[in-house]
Amino acid sequence: MERITQQKIAIVAVLESAESPLTPPEILSRAAKAVPRLGVATVYRALRALRKERKIVIVEIPGEPPRYETATRGHHHHFFCNGCRKVFEIPDCAAKWAELAPPNFQVLDHEIILYGKCPNCQGER
């Protein structure tokens, strides 16, 4: 049985309050406000344990460091801003992707990542 520590509680709180998936350094920065001497190794250990417990999921953007979010958010997709390199959540999945598969193929799952610029980065030149 995994120990529940103040560090792990702070990390879970950060992930639950996050508006989008976070990298380990982002998690460390935010959780360190509650637990000042929190170290990066502790963050990685907690993330590994939380993944094993299926409380968080990994969000992988090709060419980017892994990001993490709570597993309670349900099926959704992500938008990656090429300007600020932030990831934003797309709350729903509106398309019927199975209809795009070749005839007689069975779609079991899908993941969509949209790439572009967020509103803040659109104004920058």
Q: For the chain, which residues make up each domain, given as ranges?
A: 6-71, 75-122
Beta strands of the chain (E only): which ranges?
56-59, 67-70, 77-81, 87-90, 113-116
pTM of the model: 0.84
The domain 75-122 is classified under which CATH number: 3.40.50.150, 3.30.465.10, 3.30.1490.190, 3.30.1490.20?
3.30.1490.190
Tens digits of residue pLDDT in 12-68: 999 999 999 999 999 999 999 999 999 999 999 999 999 999 999 999 999 999 999
Tens digits of residue pLDDT in 86-104: 999 988 777 777 788 899 9
The domain 6-71 is classified under which CATH number: 1.10.10.10, 1.10.10.60, 3.40.50.300, 1.10.760.10?
1.10.10.10
Torsion angles phi and psi, residue 113, rounded to 5: -125, 120
Model confidence band, residue 2 (pLDDT cutoffs 50, 70, 90): low
pLDDT at 59: 94
